[in-house]
């Protein structure tokens, strides 16, 4: 059993980078479910306050063994980007010291938005094993259209920097964290089980169209020893035949905070989860807690 646990630990940590990235996407997909059909590039913040800090535990399952591989923390503060006052969202994911023995992971996602929550800049600095990269996205708005310039810089191994530009003919382009900040202030009362939501996202390398499906409401246990009433959504992909494949299931607190409570990610070798473990500085009471 001990030998199997060691192998499971090594495999789990090698997937920690994927889990951390999925957590970032989870945070954005989760609240994007509240996005209206024609999203505006600006919105009024009614969901969060500067100083909010949300914590998560990253876990991996190999057969019947659950292994904690790291932690993640999302913080929100006031900030100034190129003279524009607004907010900074910062998501840090890292493996534990014990996990570093198998695979060291240090991922930092940074996003700046204006006071009206329009995306201005996004960066993902990823140190995963022997690989070290930085993905960046710069947003601009001309003649009513959203434009993004993106690039990936390779530090280890050293490679040529990749560049890409994209202009949206209609609507807005968001990144993993700016969509979180804006969508948390939107409402989702009109959605029915089975409804699909589509939206574009800049990852720092490309702009991708995402698909979410609303599944309903479920009670979920978190790592803070509480149970939350959650909205359940699925992120799905489609194969060449158009058949649907569920990639991630996630659970969002059914209150005005719209906090991601748990993520379930399906891998070829097992499953991974991100568990909500606590929040500080939340704007509203956690009314989704089930007594």
pLDDT value of residue 5: 40
pLDDT value of residue 13: 41
For the four alpha carbons of 75, 81, 83 and 86, in that order, the dihedral sign comes to negative
pLDDT value of residue 289: 97
191 contacts: CB under 8 Å, gap ≥ 6: 33, 197, 214
Q: Are 250 and 264 in contact (CB under 8 A)?
A: yes
pLDDT value of residue 151: 93
pLDDT value of residue 25: 56
pLDDT value of residue 101: 78
Closest CA to 181 of 273, 274, 49: 49
pLDDT value of residue 267: 63
- Spans of the chain below 50 pLDDT: 1-17, 29-39
pLDDT value of residue 232: 87
């Amino acid at each position: 059993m001990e030998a199997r646990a060691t192998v499971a630990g090594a495999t789990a940590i090698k997937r920690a980078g994927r889990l951390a990235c999925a957590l970032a996407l989870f945070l954005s997909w989760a609240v994007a479910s509240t996005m209206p059909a024609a999203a505006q590039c600006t919105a009024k913040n009614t969901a969060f306050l500067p100083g909010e800090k949300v914590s998560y535990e990253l876990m991996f399952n190999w057969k019947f063994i659950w292994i904690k591989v790291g932690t993640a923390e999302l913080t929100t503060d006031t900030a100034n980007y190129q003279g524009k006052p607004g907010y900074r969202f910062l998501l840090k994911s890292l493996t534990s010291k014990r996990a570093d023995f198998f695979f060291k992971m240090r991922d930092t996602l940074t996003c700046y938005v204006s006071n009206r929550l329009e995306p201005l800049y996004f960066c993902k600095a990823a140190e995963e094993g022997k690989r070290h990269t930085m993905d960046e996205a710069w947003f601009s708005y001309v003649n009513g259209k959203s434009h993004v310039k993106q690039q990936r810089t390779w530090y280890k191994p050293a490679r040529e920097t990749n560049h890409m530009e994209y202009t949206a003919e209609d609507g807005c382009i968001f990144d993993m964290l700016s969509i979180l900040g804006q969508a948390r202030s939107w409402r989702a009362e009109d959605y029915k089980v089975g409804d699909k939501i589509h939206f574009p996202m800049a990852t720092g390398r490309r702009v991708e169209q995402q698909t979410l499906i609303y599944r309903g409401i479920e009670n979920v246990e978190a790592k803070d020893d509480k149970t939350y009433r959650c909205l359940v959504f699925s992120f799905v992909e489609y194969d060449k035949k158009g058949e649907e494949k569920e990639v991630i299931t996630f659970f969002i607190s059914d209150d005005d905070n719209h906090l991601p409570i748990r993520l379930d990610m399906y891998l070829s070798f097992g499953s991974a989860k991100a568990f909500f473990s606590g929040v500080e500085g939340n704007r509203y009471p956690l009314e989704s807690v089930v007594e």
